[in-house]
Structure 1
Amino acid sequence: MDPAPPAPGGPPDVVVLTGDARPRGMADAERLARVRYVRETELADALPGADVLFVWDFLSDAVAGAWPRTGGPEWVHIASAGVDRLLFPGLVESGTVVTNSRGVFDEPIAEYVLGLVLTFAKDLHTTVRLQGERRWLHRETERVTGARALVVGTGPIGRAIGRRLSAAGLAVSGAGRTPRDADPDLGVVHPMERLGEALAEADYVVLAAPLTPETRHMVDAAALARMRPSARLVNVGRGALVNEADLVEALRAGRIAGAALDVFEDEPLPESSPLWDMPNVLVSPHMSGDVIGWRDELVRLFTANLDRHVAGRPLRNVVDKRLGYVGSPQRVG
């Protein structure tokens, strides 16, 4: 890219909250702005006077505790699609613009979900286990063609999942805030108020919704009781969409057939969690969207938005802080 020249008032001050390592490929951003890299313990001292905060360590909870009472950054960008860790009162009630990394993870997560569905249907996890035991055991497996998938969450990730599952032959429907009958990617979209009815019809329930006060623990004992005994739950959204204690109980009681979980309320998943040892559960460490090159994509997206910020152009992927996700229109001036 050809970065815009620095703003007339001088380049903005950008604070980057890093985790174990700094993001690579920040040369263009460093030409556009004065960039300072900080860890969690340094964030509170770095934020006052900063123009921009880039939350590279998107699993950190440090921003809420470090947020200044006055004079916070005018723009915060997070290197993830979910923004729930930024929805604390001080930021939500401020004039600070929040943007996310919408678009980077859509297709990789959709591919991952398809892989999980095929793993369950074709019993691949059992095949791997039997191979390790050197056991030759013939089994019959399930068709995916014609199976019914309910995608909860109709944003870009949910839509990509819908397209991918439809291409594999599944009958896809959705659940979201706005019901409709002929969505091009999800078919019938059920209102969230009727989620229980939709759950009862699905062979696969895929959670791809943002975490908001309304969606927290949306899959609880009551929701799980509505699901078919043969159904599988797939969560690639946020861990707190599911009440884990209720899920463990439902799995133990055979009320649902299995679960594939890429996200959890507590990450890393504690070694004491019973989910680790359940034969009908697939556990992965929050990696469904992390394909080779994903970090480079995140840096490019932030740098492109920083270029727009410096040039005074509208930012992309602006989050509606009251809703907790990117609304419409998609940008602000």
Structure 2
Amino acid sequence: MTDVLLLMAPEDTELPGLDGLPASVRLRCVQDEDALRQALPEAEVLVVTDFRSGLLERCWPAQNRLRWVHATSAGVDALMFPALWDSPVTITNARGLFDRGIAEYVLGAVLMFAKDTLGNLRLQRHRQWQHRDTELIEQRRVLVVGAGSIGGEVATLLRAVGMQVVGLARTARADARFDAVHASAALPEQLALADFVVITAPLTDDTRGLFNDQAFAAMKPGARLINVGRGSIVDTAALLRALERGQLSGAALDVFEQEPLPEDHPLWQQPNVMISAHMAGDFLGWRRALGEQFVTNFLRWQAGEALHNRVERG
């Protein structure tokens, strides 16, 4: 019998798609601190859907039987607390599952800006008929900050509609999904060339606060920012200043330094900003797909095969 523990947020229902687990699995679901403290020392495998409460870090036991922790997200920054990160426990994530949905969100945001959809909706609300010329996106330049799995899917989709897409990664490399991939040190010069800047990078010590006043000042005047990575990569106050002085023509934001975004936050009032509630990759049926992805990986683990989406420390 293998003990699998599912850590869920209080408002969550049980993750669908787990019905494919073998009969030899004892699945337990916990949603509060007392239950987690009681169950965690006996679990061999932990599936985490609750990333925002910090509950796992608070309850991490000095002694446990855990061999594998699976995050039902592409990013694992919420699991980077030292006790887990420094342990021998294998960590996997949901890499790949949300790539297409996020890429489609980015394409939609690019088209929204190019065709002035926000302007159309404002005029419609006031019943104003106002003809304007809009932009073509063909041959416009996109900088994707974070040339990993998600960034590569974004590049594939944007290049398919005729855009020029350059990626940014830790080191320069050849990647057929992009027109070029430059090292992260090239950020200032690449920002100056891009009509659209798309953030798909994970949150790390290197990316936290990466988009500050200096980065926005380096951007091409009139460029647009699309953030589908992590909110803390962008200094929100610096972004507001860039929008207000007209350095940026707009921003599409799916992630924020503080979530939910407070009702009185000035970003809500910006006429050239689109806000969504950390949902860029969430498609109909995504929760079941997460469960099924874990089951597929569990069967590999049970058979002694290499796990998919293993997170490498370092």
Residue identity matched to 2:233 = L
Instruction: Report if aligned partners of 2:17, 2:290 keep a CA contact under 8 Å in 1.
Output: no
Normalised by the size of structure 2, how large is the TM-score? 0.96
Structure 1 residue corresponding to 2:58, chosen from 65, 69, 72: 65
- Residues 294-320 of structure 1, C-alpha deviation per residue, up to 9 Å, x if partnerless? 111101100111112222221110001
Which string of whole-angstrom CA distances, capped at 9 and with x for unpartnered residues, describes residues 45-66 of structure 1?
Answer: 2211210110023444322112
Does residue 1:303 correspond to 2:295, yes or no? Answer: yes
1:272 is aligned, of 264, 287, 294, to 264
Counterpart among 279, 289, 299 of residue 287 in structure 1: 279
Q: How far apart are the structure 1 equivalents of 2:69 and 2:244?
A: 42
Correspondence for 1:135: 128
Q: Give the letter aligned to residue 216 of structure 1.
A: R
Q: Mean Cα displacement is larger for which, 55-64 or 80-89?
A: 55-64
How do residues 22-41 of structure 1 correspond to structure 2 at under 5 angstroms?
A: 22-29=14-21, 31-41=23-33
CA RMSD of aligned residues (A): 1.3
CA distance in 1, matches of 2:309, 2:17: 21
SS at match of 2:194: coil
The reply on whether 1:145 has 2:135 as its aligned counterpart is no
State the secondary structure of the residue aligned to 2:36: helix
| Cα distance in 2 for residues equivalent to 1:290 and 1:50 | 29
Is residue 248 of structure 2 the alignment partner of residue 248 of structure 1?
no
Matches within 5 A, 1:49-88: 49-71=42-64, 73-88=66-81
* TM-score normalised by L of structure 1: 0.90
Residue 79 of structure 1 contacts residue 100 of structure 1 at CA under 8 Å; is this kept in 2?
A: yes
Matched with 1:222 is 214
Shift of 1:170: 1.0
Name the residue aligned to 1:173: 166
Alignment of 1:155-234 (within 5 A): 155-180=148-173, 182-234=174-226
- Equivalent position of 1:121 in the other structure: 114
2:238 maps to a residue whose letter is D
CA shift for structure 1 position 27: 1.6
- Among 77, 92, 115, the alignment partner of 1:99 is 92
Give ranges in structure 1 of 5+ residues lacking alignment.
1-10, 323-333
- Report how far residue 67 of structure 1 moved: 1.2
Segment of structure 1 superposing worse, 132-141 or 142-151: 132-141
Cα-to-partner distance string for 1:241-286 (whole Å, 9 max, x where unaligned)? 1111111111111121111100111111111211111001110001
Equivalent AA in structure 2 for residue 170 of structure 1: M
Over 3 Å counting, the alpha-carbon distance change for 1:31 and 1:56 in structure 2 is farther
Aligned identity (percent) is 48
CA deviations on 1:69-88 (whole Å, 9 max, x unpaired) are 22252110011100000011
- The residue identity in structure 1 corresponding to 2:242 is A
Say which of 4, 7, 15 aligns to 1:14.
4
Cα deviation per residue 1:80-138 (whole Å; 9 max; x = unaligned)? 10000001110111001000001101111101100000000000111122222211111
Q: C-alpha displacement at 1:144, in angstroms? A: 0.4
Unaligned runs of 5+ in 2: none
Contact 1:204 1:231 in 2 (8 A): yes
Distance in 2 (alpha carbons) for counterparts of 1:252 and 1:116: 20
> What amino acid is aligned across from residue 266 of structure 1 in structure 2?
Q
Deviation (angstroms), 1:160: 0.3
Contact 1:231 1:256 in 2 (8 A): yes
Contact 1:105-1:289 at 8 Å conserved across structures = yes
Displacement after TM superposition at 1:149 (Å): 0.2
For these two proteins, the number of residue pairs brought into alignment is 311
Aligned to 1:327: none
Checking the alignment, whether the CA contact within 8 Å between 1:72 and 1:96 is kept in structure 2 is: no
Q: Which amino acid aligns with 1:146?
A: Q
Q: How many Å separate the matches in 1 of 2:32 and 2:244?
A: 39
Q: Once the 2 structures are TM-superposed, how far is the Cα of residue 211 of structure 1 from its aligned partner?
A: 0.7
Residue identity matched to 1:37: C
